Amino acid sequence: MTRADAVVVGAGLAGLAAARDLEAGGAQVTVVEARPRVGGRVEQVQGPDGRRIQLGGEVVGSAHTSYLGLVGELGLTLTSSYVTEPGEITRQIPGSVDIGEWPSWCTPADREASVKVQEALAKVLASIDPDDPWSCPDLERLDRLSVGDWLREVGATPGVLRLWELSHLSLSDGSIERQSLFAYARKTVVGGTTGSYDVEQWENLRVAEGSATVALRMAEGLRDVRLATPVRRVQIKPSGTLVTTEAGEQLHADAVVIAVPSGPARDIDFEGVSHARLASLRRQRHAWAAKFVAAYDEPFWRTRGQNALSECEGILGSTWPQQHGVISALIPPERYAAFVAAEPETRTREALAQIADLYGSQASTPLQTWTRLWGTDPWAQGYVTNWCPGDVMAVGPLHGTHEPPLYVCGSDQWVAGYMEGAVRTGRGAAAAALAGK
């Protein structure tokens, strides 16, 4: 049996940030990670010409203060993300590809309705306190309501509904018909905006060395990170905590930090943890999404006045320029089953055909492509949380809180997910554990 002050389960951004702060606070820490690498949902591979290709989390925004602070501490560099790419957005639905702010199928009546929807949204947002979303007087109703139902309630036309659905599919965290209005509004408010999702707050920056380098850099500074060591059991006893790995090794500690997504958390046996805590921890569901990346010599889309940013109704829900000559794309949950059902060569061919439909035939001949199926990865079991109608109330106010000596962190433990959520909650868990709270 090994002994530590704290065992951290999971070496994603959250677990690593927690371990780093715990060690800085003088604790003896052991990190146990199921995969043979650190980073979790941030992962990078070496592409052609040495480009570092991101297969997981990629961009951050000005509102992501914890993440930006950590990047500074690690001596890494922030640079502009796709938002500075010249050219215009593209929208693709069956039968049409439109370049520019408004697609051709949006009528003047749709534009008018869109303004009214924004006004109605501003009222919802004003009812939520970013520092205490739980105090919202209308929380239960807003959580029960799907974004789609609310849009119809406030007079959205079919064109506006379709625009919102396209935009939600592009983020791949669930259709407007399967997303809680409260969850959507809470995330928007916490990002510091009074209108709908603002890319400046959420997506305007990226780490020049590669977002997965943040995880690698943190791990380099830690004393004891055990890879390929899945945890099976966590027991909270009066004498301390006992963590048992799949191989049967036992790690004894004063505290344990759970830094795994809710899917894998359901597969761990917990003992000595309250029923309410476990119910909350395991209640979240994840959007099953995949990422597809294609690397080219040059950003060929620029000659057509496009910025490689798109919202689509094909097998891909969105594309954006990851870096010079590289296109990232997401396969949203609504299309995931159809994507995974095909064998890998067919998936690649169909994804490239869609990119060619958007940006021209040069898209069909990339230097290399990568596909990462996050939805069915056993150690992620999804991409980000999909807050369905009613889920905020069902997960309840224990979300993101601790039950000492059990501490909980991870992007799914923050109201909005993202790499920011991982770092913020990881550092928060370490601070709470060091203070014994």
Name the site residues for ligand FAD (rule: CB under 6 A).
9-15, 32-35, 40-42, 56-60, 230-231, 259-261, 264, 268, 291, 374, 379-380, 383-384, 410-411, 417-420, 422
Q: Report whether 231 belongs to an annotated binding site.
A: yes
- CB closer to ligand FAD out of 150 and 270: 270
- CB closer to ligand FAD out of 59 and 295: 59
175: left (phi over 0), alpha (psi -120 to 50) or beta: beta
- CB closer to ligand FAD out of 58 and 391: 58
Q: How far is the CB of 372 from ligand FAD (least distance, A)?
A: 6
Q: How far is the CB of 395 from ligand FAD (least distance, A)?
A: 15
Q: How far is the CB of 170 from ligand FAD (least distance, A)?
A: 12
- DSSP assignments along 407-420, one per residue: EE-SGGGSTT-HHH
Q: How far is the CB of 13 from ligand FAD (least distance, A)?
A: 4
The beta strand positions in 171-298, using DSSP E, are 205-207, 225-226, 231-237, 240-245, 250-258, 269-271, 286-287, 290-295
* 27 three-class SS: coil
Q: Report whether 101 belongs to an annotated binding site.
A: no
Q: How far is the CB of 16 from ligand FAD (least distance, A)?
A: 7
- CB closer to ligand FAD out of 359 and 383: 383
Q: Report whether 293 belongs to an annotated binding site.
A: no
The beta strand positions in 47-204, using DSSP E, are 52-54, 59-60, 78-80, 88-93, 96-99
* 105 three-class SS: coil
* Tokens read off for 159: 């064109």
**Is 214 within 8 Å of 77 (Cβ atoms)?**
no
**Three state DSSP letters for 363-385:** HHCCCEEEEEECCCCCCCCCCEE
- CB closer to ligand FAD out of 150 and 370: 370
- CB closer to ligand FAD out of 203 and 313: 203
* Tokens read off for 352: 């490239």
- CA–CA distance, 71 with 430 (Å, rounded to integer): 18
Q: How far is the CB of 38 from ligand FAD (least distance, A)?
A: 7
- CB closer to ligand FAD out of 176 and 225: 225
* 233 three-class SS: strand
Distances (CA, A) of 149 to 138, 173, 359: 16, 17, 34
- DSSP assignments along 326-354, one per residue: EEEEEE-HHHHHHHHHS-HHHHHHHHHHH
Binding residues: 33-34, 231
Binding residues for FAD: 33-34, 231
